[in-house]
Amino acid sequence: MSDYLDGLNDIQRQAVTDINGPVLVVAGPGSGKTRVLTYRIAYLIQQGVNPRSILALTFTNKAAREMKGRIEKVVGTTANMVWAGTFHSIFARLLRVDAPLIGYPSNFTIYDTDDAKSLINTIVKDLGLDKNTYAAGNILSRISGAKSQIITAEEYVSNATLRDQDAVVGLPHFAEIYKRYAARMKKAGAMDFDDLLLQLYILLNDFPEVLDKYRRRFAYVLVDEFQDTNTLQYGIIKKLVKYNGSKYNVCVVGDDAQSIYAFRGATIENILNFETDFPMLKTYKLEQNYRSIDAIVQAANEVISHNRKQIKKTIWTDRAEGPGIILLRALNDNEEAKRVVDAILEQKNRNHLRNSEIAILYRTNAQSRIFEEYLRRYNISYRVYGGMSFYQRKEVKDLLAYFKLSVNPYDDESLKRIINFPRRGIGDATIEGLRQIAVDNDISMWDVLQSDIPQVKSKKAVTDFTKMIQVFIKKLTELNAYDLAMMIARQSGVLVEYKKENSIDALARVENLNALLDGVKEFVENDEATPDEDTTSDKSLATYLQTIMLLTDADKESQDSEVVTLMSVHSAKGLEFKSVFVTGVEEKLFPSWMSYDVPDGIEEERRLFYVAITRAETHLTLSYANSRYRFGKLTYCEPSRFLDELSMIKTQLHAVPQSSAQQLSGVSGNFRPVKMLEKKNLVVDGVDFKVSPPDMVKEGAKVLHLKFGEGIVKKVEGGAGNRVATIYFKDVDDPERRIMLKFAKLQVLS
């Protein structure tokens, strides 16, 4: 037997060497899935199978490259002959050959998302429809959903049930848009990403000779991450699999417990019902986890056991030793971020972990903001994975540009960014003309806008924009940072612009904008006086921007790979870290409130939580906040149901006082509490808390603060409107605090 097989356990070896007939490899997290898949291909080649007759489908180009690299180490350069690649790349290659049969040129164009949206906007305009109602992003998403269910434009138009559903949701003309979209794409000789799948399916379905050609070519078909396939992808796989006597040589590898892409059209039923389509199926369960310590593995088993739809398996590991699981409970999201970063520092110092071995995971990208701020304050290098830094995201930069221009109207870069965003009919030629006048006269563009502007086609739009910014400037001294920020966000049209596009991406952008506004709200409501007396009463937008700019401009993005990774849980799939922080484990956040009314939505969220905790090798920290700002309001939060589903954490969760952390350790699969890290914060029940008028706070008074608990007022100083109280709070580490009364929330007890 070849040496490379010697490193496999018994089940892995069987999955690799059983090469004939349909095979399902159910691969738990950290169980060596990629090794089994690549070694199976290498084994096929060593058994005399022509590498050109092997088709291996993946979801990422990176996975395909890694697969070929591993195969090459075993069998040499013949690995390059294997048809290994993503669904889209492989299917595009096949279509280049036979596309003329279905009315497309061989050199068809592939439209990206922006191309597709542009075409949809044109069609909407041609039909005289409202572009807000028929937002391009939403329409493209619906078209993609139809294609993933193998519903062509012609079939959609003729389906009365689908058209009735469109009418119910206020899109009665969707079918006509889909029909024109498909027709114009074909006339232009173009396909979008979904067409690369749909048109191949049509080709194989309508031309038996083509289907037979590819069935003869691909004697062995392998599919990675099978749980992430949609109806259309699986439909193509079933067509391509060659009938060989009584057996189909197909092998799919995946984990139903890690099916987390329903929002992209993936259906867990493909892997759950695979045996129905292939009754002679052999199933191999890879249940040994080589990644995580026992406490983490047992937690994963426990939480996923609550799902009804699953292939039963029990993940195990022989890694018994480890620090276990830590649960952090924080008063609010600001404290959560601070405590997470404190814990990172402790792990770096005590356990000698490198930045690259640590990850912070969150359910929504908007949560990254507060973690970024604290990592910067602590001078810890980090990188936001799978997206830009919070403050570099387009929507955030757009709104910040409005803030900056309101504070400093001579900021030409901010002005150029937003003068026609949202679109107000000021074309590029007009903007360039204004810029040139400024350059020629050695003045700013704002000076040009306030002068007698030369006749331009969009003069009214330019004038209206100028007047709007002038109003914002006037309000600088009248409104605090949050009130002015909200005014700008609404009156500028930025919030409306992103809200009107009802799509997954647009929803994420709105969440990011609200996260930015929540940060302004926190800045305004921070009632603790600073050492600098000159800034204690300054809650202006200008001061807020100064604070943010110091955070964002303090350092440039490091090229160093030694960074803490911040990412959404969806982005973390397939990765692993020695230490993982799963944050915001609260109801309506994780699980997401959007999953509540979706069939099987909670089960998918639970699978997502399963993915999150199984990214950790040795250290797993779960955290949640008792309150957080959402949409500008302080919202009280409940711990996620997923915490209740972990037996020992559930016990500690309900037994430990608020604002504490518990460290739990796994020993032979059983949790036991090791120690409790108490924080001396007194948490006050917000329901019974009543704020007293500032003038009631006198020297010697006994007061109550939501964050610091009971305190005694030592002295009050300052003039009316700027009074600052020095208060001694007995239950906090740093007991003496100076608080500005006009921003304070204090209840006078006596």
- 224 in catalytic set: yes
Tell me the HSE value of 250 on the side-chain side, using a 13 A CA sphere: 25
Q: Answer for the pair 501, 136: CB distance below 8 angstroms, yes or no.
A: yes
Q: What is the CA radius of gyration of the chain?
A: 30
159 contacts 178 by C-beta, under 8 angstroms: no
Q: Which position among 98, 192, 194, 224 bears the catalytic label?
A: 224
Place of tokens 């020993």: 667
Q: Is 33 a catalytic residue?
A: yes
Q: Report the C-alpha dihedral over residues 364, 370, 371, 373, rounded to 10 degrees.
A: 140
**Amino acid identity of 649?**
I
Catalytic residue among 192, 194, 225, 497: 225
Identify whether 591 is preceded by a cis peptide bond (ω within 30 of 0). Answer: yes
Listed residue (417, 541, 415) closest to 473, CA to CA: 541
d(CA 193, CA 233): 12
CA dihedral 93, 94, 95, 99 (to 10 degrees): 130
- Residue 744 CA neighbour count, 13 Å, CB half: 29
Is 475 noted as a catalytic residue in this protein?
A: no
Residue in 192, 246, 334 with CA at minimum distance from that of residue 681: 334
Of the residues 12, 13, 33, 628, only one is catalytic, namely: 33
DSSP 226-259: GGG--HHHHHHHHHHSPEETTEE-EEEEE-GGG-
Catalytic residue among 38, 199, 229, 258: 258
Give me the catalytic one of 147, 383, 521, 615.
615
Closest among 115, 112, 128 to 177, alpha carbons compared: 128
- 225 catalytic per annotation: yes
Residue 10 and residue 443: Cα distance in Å, rounded?
77
DSSP string, 97-109: HHGGGGT--TT-E
Is 17 marked active-site?
A: no
Which one-letter amino acid corresponds to residue 734?
A: D
* Pairwise CA distance, residues 389 & 382, whole Å: 10
Measured CA to CA, the distance from residue 222 to residue 39 in angstroms comes to 12
> From CA 330, how far away is CA 627, in angstroms rounded?
8
Task: Tell me the angle at which helices 113-126 and 136-148 cross, rounded to the nearest 10 degrees.
Answer: 110
Q: List the catalytic residues.
A: 33-34, 224-225, 258, 615
